[in-house]
Amino acid sequence: MIVTRFAPSPNGHLHLGHAYSAIIAHDLARDTGGRFLMRIEDIDGARSRPELPEEFRRDLEWLGLKWEDVPSQSTRLEAYAQAAQSLRNQGLLYPCRCTRAQIAAASTQMGPDGPVYPGTCKGAVISEGEPVAWRLDVAEAMRRTGPLSWQDALAGEQQARPDLTGDVVLVRKDALTPASYHLAATLDDAADGVTLVTRGQDLFGATHIHRLLQALLSLPVPQWHHHPLLLDEGGKKLAKRRGSPSLADRREAGEDGIALAQSLRMDQMPGGITLSR
């Protein structure tokens, strides 16, 4: 059975790009008698807004989608901590005290996630009690797993290249948000029984890391479907701060959500919006 999910972060309103993503995940499950889940990814500390998950539910209902709610990330911190501990026990994490600015200044390579961490803290001695993030030693992890591959429904078979992203943070410095997106999403997709991870092409690079984590943590390996992104008139990803109305704005203005969902299904985007290819 196909199990898909929509996994919004409650740090901003949903817009058309989210609607497109949710509809793809919903329809891929519905068309095969599968399950479509919604998971709220609310571990972004101070940026998470508690009122937004209810708004997201109203948005999905307005679009005519049916889904099952699964536990939100903030209720799963114990599982993230246990997985991080298991990776530490395997000698695959190292502590890092670098700031974003230090990394940007020291990095010489751009990866899919931004500047590649140059390994500054690998092997450094860090004093007890100092706030640190924990990074995955990707080269060592790949040495242990050997070559890995994964399957994208649109792009086909991919060789996993987590080395392109580099030593990602799995446990954040900030105590409010102990697990990083990579660790939390990978564990949750396994715990929720997701068999087809649908999300935007902007997260294609993240999947190389997720595939590596699945191998290290003995998790089941789903398939992926990275869909094109909706772009605004300037060719940029839609964002409320660049003036794209949110789904809530459209709903409150009396727009017909079901009709909007139908036009997104036919790739008929409202004025000026295009699809990335």
Would you tell me which residues interact with ligand GLU (CB under 6 A)?
7-9, 41, 185, 199, 203
Q: Tell me if 115 sits within 8 A of 165, measured CB to CB.
A: no
What is the number of other CB atoms lying within 10 angstroms of the CB of residue 235?
Answer: 8
The CB-of-229 to ligand GLU minimum distance in angstroms stands at 11
The CB-of-64 to ligand GLU minimum distance in angstroms stands at 21
CA proximity to 22, closest of 1, 5, 9, 34: 5
Measured from the CB atom, the residue of 11 and 90 that comes closer to ligand GLU is 11
The CB-of-8 to ligand GLU minimum distance in angstroms stands at 5
Measured from the CB atom, the residue of 16 and 132 that comes closer to ligand GLU is 16
**114 torsion bin: left (phi>0), alpha (psi -120 to 50), beta (else):** left
The CB-of-206 to ligand GLU minimum distance in angstroms stands at 7
Backbone angles phi, psi at 161, to 5 degrees: -125, 60
Residue type, 46: A
Round to whole Å and give the CA distance between 230 and 11. 19
The CB-of-209 to ligand GLU minimum distance in angstroms stands at 11
Measured from the CB atom, the residue of 137 and 188 that comes closer to ligand GLU is 188
Radius of gyration of the CA atoms of the chain, in A: 19
- CA atoms within a 13 Å half-sphere pointing along the CA-CB vector of 242: 11
Round to whole Å and give the CA distance between 54 and 248. 11
Residue nearest to ligand GLU (CB): 199
Measured from the CB atom, the residue of 95 and 200 that comes closer to ligand GLU is 200
Chain centroid, CA 126 distance in Å = 30
The CB-of-129 to ligand GLU minimum distance in angstroms stands at 32
Backbone angles phi, psi at 186, to 5 degrees: -65, -45
Measured from the CB atom, the residue of 42 and 137 that comes closer to ligand GLU is 42
Measured from the CB atom, the residue of 118 and 228 that comes closer to ligand GLU is 228
The CB-of-173 to ligand GLU minimum distance in angstroms stands at 20
Round to whole Å and give the CA distance between 58 and 248. 8
Measured from the CB atom, the residue of 14 and 92 that comes closer to ligand GLU is 14
